[in-house]
Amino acid sequence: METAAAEGAARAGVRFVLNGSPVDVWAAPHETLLAVLRDTLGATEVKYGCGEGVCGTCTVLLDGAPINACLLLAVQAAGRAVTTVKGLGAEGHLHPLQRAFVAHEAAQCGFCTPGMLLVAHAFLADHPRPTRDEIRSAIAGNLCRCTGYTRIVDAIEACAGTGKAARVEPR
């Protein structure tokens, strides 16, 4: 049982870009990107929900494409750009999708929300004018237990270039 020793011994420096800024971390090969983001870098906006690639709460964008952070080794992120939901909008300045999620109450517990926003963002970049069915298909891999999805689809639809403005109510 030299696990603890092995853990320390094989750590390697990994450099990647997180939300636009370069980061350098020490990561052991067996650490997933999810573990390093959450435990080492404090990027707790990326969630753990299953570790099987099923739930989508760990979604990040890797060079712009949505992937499972739970199914990528941190060392495999070297030299690449990782985007979490914090890379979507700027501090205090929400991305239109985030605004639409608030306006439509497309989040309840919010645990699926960071992943959902990232998938929606990547999807809209390729499909500026999607149908509701296309939106449903795009987010099908990201589970939500609270909303039943209707409002998530509403919010994404409101953001797509369909000309429909997001429902905005003053707070």
Partner 1 sequence: MARRTPDEHPDPFRIVGRPLPRFDVADKVQGTTLYAADWRLPGMLAGRILRAVYPSARIRRISVEHARGLPGVAAVLTADDVPQNALHEDPTGLGLSSFATPVLAADRVRYQGEPVALVAAESEVAAQAALEAIEVEYEPLPGVFDAGAALAPDAPRVHPDRVNLLIHWKLRQGDVEAGFRRSDAVVERTYRTQRVDHAALEPEAAVAWVDGDGVVTIRAATQVIEHFREIAEILRLPHNKVRVMAPFLGGGFGGKEDMTVEPYVALLAWKTRRPVRMLWTRQESLLARPKRHPFTMSYKTGATRDGRLVAQEISLLADAGPYPLLSPRVVFAALVVGCGPYRVPNVKIDARAVFTNNVPTSAMRGFGAMQVTFAYESQMDLLAEQLGMSALEIRSRNFLQKGDRLPTGEALETEAALPHITARAVDALGERSRPSAPSGRVGRGIACNMQPYGRTVWFRDRAQAWIGFEADGALVIRAGITDLGGGQAASLAQLAAEVLGVSPDRIAVHIGDSALTPLAGGTFATRQLYMSGNAVVKAAGELRAMMIPVAASLLEAAEPDVQFADNHAGVIGAPERTIALARVVAECARRGIPTSLLSGFQGEHAAPIDLETGQGRTFPDYTFGCHAVEVEVDAETGTVRVLKLAACHDVGRAINPQSVEGQIQGGAVMGAGQALMEEVAVEAGINLTTLFAGYLIPTAMDMPDVRALVVESGEGKGPFSARGIGEPPTGPPPAAVAAAIQDAVGVRLMELPMTPERVFDAVRARPARPKNEARGKV
Partner 2 sequence: MYPSPFAYHAPVTMGETLALLARLPEAKILAGGQSLLPLMNLGLAQPGALVDVNGLPGLETVTEDGGGLRLGALVRHRTLETSPLIRRRCPALAEAASLIGNIRVRHRGTLGGSLAHADPAAELPLVAVALGATLEISRLAGAREVSAAEFFRGYLLTDLAPGELVTGVRIPAIAPGTGYGLAELVRRAGDFAIVAACAVITTDGAGVCRQASLAIGGVGPHPLVMRRAEGLLTGGPLTDRRLAEAADAVPGEVAPESDVHATAAYRRAMARVMAYRALAQARARAASGPGRPA
Ligand X SMILES: Cc1cc2nc3c(=O)[nH]c(=O)nc-3n(C[C@H](O)[C@H](O)[C@H](O)COP(=O)(O)OP(=O)(O)OC[C@H]3O[C@@H](n4cnc5c(N)ncnc54)[C@H](O)[C@@H]3O)c2cc1C
Beta pairing, strands 59-62 & 65-68: antiparallel
Stretch that binds ligand FES, among 3-11, 48-56, 118-126, 157-165 (CB under 6 A): 48-56
**35-58: b or e for each residue (b if 16 or more CB lie within 10 Å)?**
bbbbeebebebbbebeeeeebbbb
Q: Establish if 86 lies at the interface with partner 1 (CB under 8 A).
A: yes
> Which partner, partner 1, ligand FES, partner 2, none, binds residue 120 by CB below 5 to 8 Å per kind?
none
Q: Please, what is the minimum distance in Å from the beta carbon of residue 139 to partner 2?
A: 9
Q: Quick one: which of 166, 163, 156, 121 has its CA closest to 136?
A: 156
How many angstroms separate the CA atoms of 72 and 63, rounded? Answer: 13
User: Dmax over Cα atoms in the chain, in whole Å?
Assistant: 61
> Which partner, partner 2, ligand FES, partner 1, none, binds residue 89 by CB below 5 to 8 Å per kind?
partner 1
Judged by CB under 8 A, the chain residues 35 through 54 that form the site for partner 2 are 35, 48, 51-54
What residue has token string 């905005």? 168
Residue 3-42 contact track with ligand FES, rule CB under 6 A, x = bound: ----------------------------------------
Binding test (CB under 8 A) with partner 2, winner from 18, 56, 99, 116: 56
With beta carbons less than 8 A apart as the criterion, state whether 107 and 113 touch: yes
> Which partner, ligand X, partner 2, ligand FES, none, binds residue 145 by CB below 5 to 8 Å per kind?
ligand FES
Binding site for ligand X (CB under 6 A): 52-54
